[in-house]
Amino acid sequence: MAAAAMMRVSFDLGLLLDRWPRSAFASHRFPAIGCASSSDELNKIGRLRYDLFIERDGKAYSGANHRQRSFLELIDGHSLNFQVVHHGEPIAAVRLTRAKDALADEHLVRIVEHAGLNHSDLRQTVVNSRLAVRPDTRARLQIPLLFRHMYRIGVLSGAAYCLVAARPDVGPLFEKFGFKKRSVSYVDPVGGLMEVHVLDVFDKAALLGGFDDVLAEMESSGELPLAAVTENANA
């Protein structure tokens, strides 16, 4: 356990650019919104998680580094970590991971296993996790912008489905954006009771919270990946 707590999570921008679209790291129309693009930015997100998950909520995650007051996991090196920055510090963050990579993570694999998707769908599935939001109005108000940016990058990444597991008190937040709760739940050894939600990325009738507007903008601008355009035309 001690060895896990002291593990170092490396940040390799080149590796991320091989897995994700370059637009994930491009400037956002709102400068405060973006993806962690350096070790320093990722470490700041780790400290945000530590403050909220470890110190405030008392969660005993094995990846927590108590000496550095940081909580990062090996899967962070393969994921996109979206953030809202205020005065140089993240006040909200959320992670996006490809489902195939999630299978190697002890917590994320449970989401994939309980989602009920066909194995063939995993190549076009992403997993949303580690939502961390400072308990203040400024941070909460930025959640819609943060989620819309994550949705857009997910679409550009070729995703057709997005999975999330949330506590019963947090699930309604995701439902406001069109995530649908599945009839299955499970108990994470650290997080507790988790309910699985699935977003059908191209289900226009279900998209909420501005996701529908983002998809419409991408369609009108020709920004959608060719595979997504073809799939929508055949739906």
Q: Is residue 233 part of a domain?
A: no
Q: Is residue 186 part of a domain?
A: yes
Say how many CA atoms lie within 13 Å of 58 toward its Cβ: 1
Q: Is residue 131 part of a domain?
A: yes
Q: Residue 9 has what pLDDT?
A: 86
* Helices within the chain (DSSP H only): 2-5, 13-19, 39-49, 99-102, 108-114, 137-141, 143-156, 171-175, 211-221, 226-234
Q: How many domains does the chain have?
A: 1
Q: Tell me how long the chain is.
A: 235
What one-letter code names the amino acid at 118?
N
Q: Is residue 231 part of a domain?
A: no
Q: Is residue 229 part of a domain?
A: no
Facing residues of 97 across strands?
127
Question: Running along the chain, 235 residues long, what does each successive block of 10 average in pLDDT?
Answer: 57 95 90 96 98 97 94 97 98 98 97 93 97 97 97 97 98 98 95 97 96 96 68 45
Q: Which CATH number characterizes residue 188's domain?
A: 3.40.630.30
Q: By residue range, what is the domain housing residue 112? A: 2-221
Say how many CA atoms lie within 13 Å of 6 toward its Cβ: 4
* Model confidence pTM above 0.85: yes
**Using alpha carbons only, what angle is made at residue 131 by residues 129 and 133, rounded to the nearest 5 degrees?**
175
